[in-house]
Structure 1
Amino acid sequence: MAESFLVDVPDLHPGVPYAYAAAPPAGYRLVFTAGACPLNARGRVAAPGDVAAQAALVMDHLETALRAAGAELGDVVRSTVYVASTAREDLATAWDVVRSRMGDHPAPSTLLGVAVLGWPDQLVEVEAVAAVPGDALR
């Protein structure tokens, strides 16, 4: 999805690293992902205790899920980033990884610190909604 589908909101603070809103045009279909988790090939959480490494693996898995549906990170119109921590530094670390992977596409996103995530030792999870042309879905 082209960055032009991100909505400019001039009445809100312009210094945030994400768009305040996004609106896919007519003829686009939405792709909803489950929360991408930092699981390795054996189904175990990789890099226990390492927020940055888990965030990187989560983004790899999110890209894989999006590709399977005919989408890519540039098609994301909304994401939610969950970090199992009360330390803002951990949230910032995860956000830096997610934001860098999004490149020039600052889709609207919410960053949350939560008490616990679903897998033992899991610190990061990211879910997304993407928009693709109607015929792009498999």
Structure 2
Amino acid sequence: MTTSGRLVPVPELSDTAQYAYAATVDPPARLVFTAGACPLDAAGRTVAPGDFAGQARQVLANLEVALAAAGAGLADVVKTTVYVASAHRPDLVTVWQVVRDAFGDHHPPSTLLGVAVLGYPDQLVEVEAVAAVREVG
């Protein structure tokens, strides 16, 4: 498999954003839509209560597992949405740093949101993704 998406830099917009402003998907591509990855361990317990960075690391690990099960990886992601249960910008920045580091040099378009509450007890972080994969062969 190889990525079927292309990240689009937009020089006319601010370069302070640490992600591409747009992405395209070239045909033929198989799109992978993930549910929001949550900071749960294999037993369904919330990992790292009260720790934004710790939960973000677990979320990204779980996202990688879900993508792999669908034949994709982080390099195939063309869009993410990052939810943080906080009204404090430093908490959002903490989570974003973990997300950005996990993606390395691949910077898909992303939306980072502070929300009031997430679905599981003690949950602070959730990330959903869309990936584009071209099958090789």
What range describes the TM-score normalised by the shorter chain of this pair? Answer: over 0.9
Match of 1:124, as an amino acid?
V
Deviates more, 1:8-17 or 1:109-118: 8-17
Match of 1:128 in 2: 129
Aligned residues: 134
Match of 2:73 in 1: 72
Match of 2:27 in 1: 26
Give the distance between the partners of 2:40 and 2:84, measured in 1 at CA. Answer: 15
Give the conservation status (yes or no) of the 8 Å contact 1:2–1:74: no
Q: What TM-score do you get using the length of structure 2 for normalisation?
A: 0.94
Give the distance between the partners of 2:10 and 2:101, measured in 1 at CA. Answer: 22
Q: In the TM superposition, what is the alpha-carbon distance from 1:64 to its structure 2 partner?
A: 0.3
Match of 1:49 in 2: 50
Give the conservation status (yes or no) of the 8 Å contact 1:76–1:130: yes
Give the distance between the partners of 1:47 and 1:61, measured in 2 at CA. Answer: 14
Q: Deviations over 1:88-110 (max 9, x none)?
A: 11100000000000000010000
1:80-91 to 2 correspondence within 5 Å? Answer: 80-91=81-92
The sequence identity of aligned pairs, in percent, is 63
Which consecutive residues of structure 2, in runs of 5 or more, have no partner in the other structure?
none
Give the distance between the partners of 2:88 and 2:75, measured in 1 at CA. Answer: 29
Match of 1:103 in 2: 104
Give the conservation status (yes or no) of the 8 Å contact 2:33–2:130: yes
Give the distance between the partners of 2:69 and 2:132, measured in 1 at CA. Answer: 14
Q: In the TM superposition, what is the alpha-carbon distance from 1:9 to its structure 2 partner?
A: 1.4
Q: What TM-score do you get using the length of structure 1 for normalisation?
A: 0.93
Give the SS at the match of 1:23.
strand
Q: In the TM superposition, what is the alpha-carbon distance from 1:11 to its structure 2 partner?
A: 1.6
Give the conservation status (yes or no) of the 8 Å contact 2:19–2:109: yes
Deviates more, 1:34-43 or 1:9-18: 9-18
